[in-house]
Amino acid sequence: MDIEKPWHKFIKEEVDNVPEIQGVYEIAYVTPEGRKLWRIGKTPHLHTRLSTRLREPPPPENCYFRYYEAGVSKDLDIIEGKLYDRYHETPPASPEE
């Protein structure tokens, strides 16, 4: 799976380009400390779900999103799990420890 999809500004004009397909989405915002996860989710209707996320609840400022198509339902769980894990990985211990 190609986990490094391009990021898009989380605005209506960009969400309007997302197809109405089954998939997983990732929404993050940028702070001086780096990228922070706001939402990860899976849905049978990517365009509709992202459009809703633009309004309910309102996203933080400086948000970006990317999405992944999932051909079969089991792929939804696999993709979502891999994305979620990226935000919860612990850094490896240093060689001196």
For residue 13, give the amino acid letter: E
> Which domain, by its residues, includes 16?
8-87
Element spanning 27, H or E:
strand 23-31
Q: In what order do the strands lie in the sheet with 8-9?
A: 8-9, 63-69, 23-31, 34-43
The domain that holds 33 is classified in CATH as 3.40.1440.10
> What does pTM read for this prediction?
0.75
Tally the C-alpha atoms within 13 A of residue 82's C-alpha that lie toward its C-beta: 13
Q: What is the pLDDT of residues 30-75, one digit of tens each?
A: 999 888 999 999 899 999 999 999 998 889 999 999 998 887 666 7
Is residue 93 pLDDT above 50, yes or no? no
Q: What is the pLDDT of residues 14-37, one digit of tens each?
A: 999 999 999 999 999 999 988 899
Q: How many domains does the chain have?
A: 1
Answer whether residue 93 is part of any domain.
no
3-state secondary structure of 86: helix
Answer whether residue 92 is part of any domain.
no
Answer whether residue 37 is part of any domain.
yes
What is the pLDDT, as a whole number, of residue 75?
75
